[in-house]
Amino acid sequence: MVLSIGLEGSANKIGVGVVRDGEVLSNPRNTYCAPPGHGFLPRHTALHHRQHVLQLVARALKEAGVTAADIDCVSYTKGPGMGAPLVSTAVVARSLALLWDKPLIPVNHCIAHIEMGRQVTGADNPTVLYVSGGNTQVISYLNQRYCIFGETLDVAVGNCLDRFARVLKLSNDPCPGYNIEQLAKQGNKFLDLPYSVKGMDVSFSGLLSFIEGSAEKLIESGEYTKADLCFSLQETVFAMLVEITERAMAHTRSNQVLVVGGVGCNLRLQEMLRIMASERGATLCATDDRYCIDNGAMIAHTGALMFKHSMDTPISDSGITQRFRTDEVHIAWRQ
């Protein structure tokens, strides 16, 4: 049995997880929240991670009921993500690997989301919709690679939602996307927004520019409420995502769709995917915020899979990269 500790810090969440052969023993995390109307800056986020990571390591070991001596490998997020937070997390991971004399495993953040989703839901070979603040991809597996069928051509869907939340001055606690979701439930008047699907890819920048520029006037005139605009934005961007996901499922003849990433927690998105899947005789596989949102357990779990195939790295090569494509990784643990 492999006991792995994983450190995730690619964006505004710092998490540490301990996993034994797919069983999550602990998974604490801490989130940096910027003031309303603002996004999180790399330097502020990195400082937050440095202030909390050691406490989280101690807490993760305690909650798991293990010691450093029990750990088989130390896993960390290599990328993709924000440079300063990634560096801060990687420094701690390297230090632990040296201090404890354990192998160091560099994990692709996107692959970790997929593998954690597969582990938690039991999905076998699903079409994957990966939606977060930094990534938007439709993915399928073939010949030990996760192949990208379609993706955003500009901003990620989570970034699109977050930026509109700033326009409305919504709180960043617990996260702007969640607050948009709650407000959208009160909306009932739909505003036609630009709908941009280009083959298997999507574009959110035009839609975002339109609603950012129109929101203040529409709200002040009384024609639309904040809730109406959140409702309209969600329905439009989610419809785009469901369209390209269904097209990928048709091409691969898949009978499962797995949604991962922070935006995958959104219950309206899950509902739309479930309807689409049921109409195709397929099933939706989804998790809650424990595993959709960035967490250390997903890094620990994927690191354990890599450890079993000797995919560790020497300290001298244990850097980070802000750009690390999903399809660059050799998936040695799958046939």
- What is the average per-residue pLDDT within 153-167? 97
Say if residue 37's pLDDT is above 90.
Answer: no
- Residue by residue, what is the 3-state secondary structure of the chain? CCEEEEEECCCCEEEEEEEECCEEEECCEEECCCCCCCCCCHHHHHHHHHHHHHHHHHHHHHHHCCCHHHCCEEEEEEECCCHHHHHHHHHHHHHHHHHHCCCEEEEEHHHHHHHHHHHHHCCCCCEEEEECCCCEEEEEEECCEEEEEEEECCCCHHHHHHHHHHHCCCCCCCCHHHHHHHHHCCCCCCCCCCCCEECCEECCHHHHHHHHHHHHHHHHCCCCCHHHHHHHHHHHHHHHHHHHHHHHHHHHCCCEEEEECHHHHCHHHHHHHHHHHHHCCCEEECCCHHHHCCCHHHHHHHHHHHHCCCCCECHHHCCCCCCCCHHHCCCCCCC
Give the per-residue pLDDT at 200: 97
Give the per-residue pLDDT at 221: 97
**Secondary structure element (H or E) that encloses residue 284, with its range:** strand 283-285
Say if residue 13's pLDDT is above 90.
Answer: yes
- What is the average per-residue pLDDT within 50-67? 98
- What is the average per-residue pLDDT within 87-107? 98
SS3 content of the chain, % helix, strand, coil (to 5): 45, 20, 35
Is the pTM above the cut of 0.95? yes
Q: What share of the chain has pLDDT > 70, as a percent?
A: 100
Say if residue 38's pLDDT is above 90.
Answer: no
Say if residue 242's pLDDT is above 90.
Answer: yes
Query: pLDDT of 281-330, one tens digit each?
Result: 999 999 999 999 999 999 999 999 999 999 999 999 999 999 999 999 99
Say if residue 215's pLDDT is above 90.
Answer: yes
Say if residue 94's pLDDT is above 90.
Answer: yes
Band (251; pLDDT cuts 50, 70, 90) = very high
Mean pLDDT estimate for the chain = 97
- What is the average per-residue pLDDT within 127-133? 97
Give the per-residue pLDDT at 208: 97
Torsion of CA 41, 84, 300, 296, to 10 degrees: -20
Give the per-residue pLDDT at 36: 87
Band (115; pLDDT cuts 50, 70, 90) = very high
Give the per-residue pLDDT at 151: 98
Give the per-residue pLDDT at 71: 98
Say if residue 161's pLDDT is above 90.
Answer: yes
